[in-house]
Amino acid sequence: MTEKFREILHKRLTRRRFLQGSGVLALGAGLPMFSGAAPATGIQSSLTFTETSHELTPQLEVPSGYQSQVLLKWGEPLFAGGPAFDPLKQSAEKQQQQFGYNNDFIGFLSLPLGSAISTHGLLVINHEYTVPQIMWPGSPNDMSLNKAQTDTDIVAHGLSVVEIELVDGVWHQRKNSAYTRRITPFTPMHISGPAAGSARLKTAISQDGVHTLGTYGNCAGGVTPWGTVLTGEENVDMMFAGDFSKSPEAASLKRFGMSAKPSKSWAAHYPRWDLSKEPNESFHMGWIVEIDPYDPVSIPKKRTALGRFKHEGANVYINADQRVVAYMGDDQKFEYLYKFVSKSTYQPDNRAANLQLLDEGTLFCARFDADGTVSWLPLVFGLGPLTVANGFRSQADVLIDVRKAADLLGATPMDRPEDVEVNPANAAVYVMLTKNADRTPAQRSPANPRAQNKAGQIVELIAPKGDHTATVFAWDMFLLAGRRDDPTTTYHPATGVNSWLACPDNCAFDSKGRIWVTSDGAEDFGIAEGIWAADVAGISRALVKRFLRAPFGSEICGPFFTPDDRHLFCSVQHPAEGSSFEQPSTRWPDFVETMPARPAVVVINRKDGQVVGS
């Protein structure tokens, strides 16, 4: 362990003891984590399942006493009478009626609206991206798809909304449901909030800068208390290509990550994605989109007040004063953490008013300091450097160019901030920081203390007196992940040999406040991706246990519990990635020679019907 790292770690542990002793954390008198400690015995987690192994296999594995059901698979017909999936005869028309590819975020919303029923509800699922090498014979790459394949590829993105019900212990999709819906890059949408109507948003398909088409690159998301889903548009730059060097928007396009070199075939077939022809089209992407799954004819809204960047997702919390606070991460190396605080308040009995809450408020970026505080810096036109002198002419410009604004305010560059969620049991905020191998020793910071960080960390934020609208929080390092014997990790001393993890990505909380974490990059460490769980307080704080093991080449995304904690939904994304259509590393979940590997939604429960985890 380097002396610099020892110094940073010592300050963190010293501060943790101070915060616990002063009552600031109020999360329980948990043991500090120990770097490189040997496994200890006699400390028991509240999680009673038997850990699964780290082994890489073609199967999905759950603990003894549990069972999993594959609920929805790529290509499965969603509508009554819809076309059956045939990997050799795919088309855009068929895919429009079928479950999309690479399911990520999952949200379960009880039916009827406003209830907490756990056996009947709606699932809303993101379809983030595609892997043509697994989808089509001949294993084409992303740039070589012909027009028909490209059209199919495009509509495999977006979201699926389905109605499901638990009958005799088995989940079923209601294919004749009026709620069933596919949302794709061609679905009509509205741009709302301060950037709506900006001249920078006017394009060939949007003469007014308000009406637009589609969403894609949808990664994580969240479910609001008023029964809508927030989906994050993340790596949308992949779909664009074309020389934009002479565009007046060149600097903005470059800062977002746009490239003239194609990563997908879309721009080759549609001028909409050609930056040399439609540079403003890219400004329609990179937002949080709010969808009302209870109204299948509703028009999704792009909530520009929440800023434009590579959104992993958004999760909201109702503050004590009833204002809504949304937490978001910009999932790229050296990007930032954000929160949004609404101007108006949540009204439990006025859903129509709540549907407008995310259009007006204040967006903040985060600066982490060595004294254990987080300062939330307002991204408001006219404040500080966010002025005409620095290229901002309005709040719309600030929101379109949020990354540039956060740069100027001095936000802390993070190690790929992904899922950010509030624990319902202790109201602390947990930030998944997946990794950042490009961080140099000179770029280390208190919340990102490792250079060449290949394993990631989880940071915990604590609002003063539970006030999430405050502009100064406390922060703590919940876990520095990586190999169990790595001296820069901070595992609980009782961590088992199969339970160290790497690259935390998504998270969820059960009603007891235990954290459930998925990974994206564990295979780089020679272990299976999966789900891990841990207590967040007490003597077993951060004592992680592996719950689920994923098939070859896949990652687990979107963990989401039913209200009664008896069923856990998750996405198995891109199984067999890195191999080919003809010779996949796994044919999960069908294991039939005529079927390629297929991304799918899985639901897990205890065989005895008790609560998952305990």
- At 429-479, the pLDDT tens digits run 999 999 999 999 999 999 999 999 999 999 999 999 999 999 999 999 999
Element (H, E) at 223: strand 218-223
- For residue 5, pLDDT beyond 90: no
| Residue-level length of the chain | 614
Q: Which of 99, 48, 104, 174 is nearest to 569 (CA)?
A: 104
Domain ranges for the chain: 3-234+286-606
- At 348-407, the pLDDT tens digits run 999 999 999 999 999 999 999 999 999 999 999 999 999 999 999 999 999 999 999 999
Q: Which two tokens stand for residue 388?
A: 């005409």
- For residue 225, pLDDT beyond 70: yes
Q: What is the pLDDT of residue 15?
A: 44
Torsion sign over Cα 491, 492, 498, 502 = negative
- Average pLDDT in the chain: 94
Rg over CA atoms, the chain: 23
- For residue 81, pLDDT beyond 80: yes
266 residue type, one letter: W
Q: Which of 495, 357, 331, 487 is nearest to 417 (CA)?
A: 331
530: number of Cβ within 10 Å: 26
DSSP string, 170-217: EEEE-TT-TT-EEE-TTSEEEEESTTTT-GGG-BTTBSSSSEEE---S
**Structure pTM?**
0.94
Query: What are the CA-CA distances from residue 493 to residues 19, 168, 223, 544 (Å)?
Result: 21, 42, 35, 10
DSSP string, 29-65: -PPPPBTTPPP--S---S--SPPPP---BSS-B--TT
Rounded mean pLDDT, 89-118: 98
According to CATH, the superfamily of the domain at 3-234+286-606 is: TolB, C-terminal domain (2.120.10.30)
Classify strands 301-303 and 188-192 as parallel, antiparallel or unpaired.
Answer: parallel
Q: What is the pLDDT of residue 43?
A: 82
DSSP count for the chain of H helices, then E strands? 9, 30
- For residue 133, pLDDT beyond 80: yes
